């Protein structure tokens, strides 16, 4: 955004510093299905205080509702908070996006784990994919 006359002296970059690690690093995660086969690839793009999560989801039942969320249990059976609701396409895949302080939840105590569960944000079903390397 440009605000005319907002900086009366200098070029307007005083006291500004570029974001350094970890704010500029992207993080790659994998979710596995019940057979421990990699099914979903997730990238967290740091944007400073928030992250953009993008998940390339595969291996789901076509045209069914799912929730990408954070679970308190690595198996996805604990308390879950919804990040994004989506419906798998006819091939059982989807591209899912979410924005928020996601990295903070993944590294805070108690730790949270990415999970894809059947159902909707108001009624979670059985977890079908869980974060690998939890």
Give the per-residue pLDDT at 92: 97
Give the per-residue pLDDT at 93: 97
- pTM score: 0.78
Give the per-residue pLDDT at 10: 76
**Cβ neighbours for 8, distance < 8 A, ≥ 6 positions apart:** none
Give the per-residue pLDDT at 25: 62
Which residues, given as ranges, of the chain have pLDDT below 50? 23
Give the per-residue pLDDT at 118: 97
In Å, what is the CA distance from 26 to each residue of 42, 59, 80, 98? 10, 24, 24, 15
Give the per-residue pLDDT at 74: 92
Alpha helices (H) in 75-124, listed in sequence order? 102-107
Give the per-residue pLDDT at 7: 72
Phi, psi of 106 (to 5 degrees): -75, -20
Which two three-digit tokens encode residue 62? 């076509």
Give the per-residue pLDDT at 16: 62
Q: How far apart are CA 50 and CA 111, in angstroms?
A: 18
Domains by residue range for the chain, with CATH: 26-122 (2.60.40.200)
Of the candidates 67, 64, 62, which has an alpha carbon nearest to the alpha carbon of residue 31? 67
């Amino acid at each position: 955004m440009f605000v005319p006359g907002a900086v009366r002296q200098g070029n307007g970059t005083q006291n500004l510093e570029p974001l350094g690690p970890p704010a500029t690093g992207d993080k790659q995660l994998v979710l596995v299905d019940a057979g421990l086969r990699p099914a979903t690839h997730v990238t967290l793009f740091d944007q400073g205080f928030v992250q953009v999560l993008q998940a390339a989801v595969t291996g789901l039942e076509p045209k069914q509702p799912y929730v990408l969320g954070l679970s308190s249990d690595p198996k996805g059976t604990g308390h879950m908070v919804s990040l994004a609701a989506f419906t798998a396409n006819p091939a059982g895949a989807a591209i899912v996006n979410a924005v928020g302080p996601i990295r903070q939840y993944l590294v805070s105590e108690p730790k949270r784990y990415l999970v894809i569960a059947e159902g909707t944000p108001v009624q979670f079903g059985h977890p079908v994919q869980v974060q690998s390397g939890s």
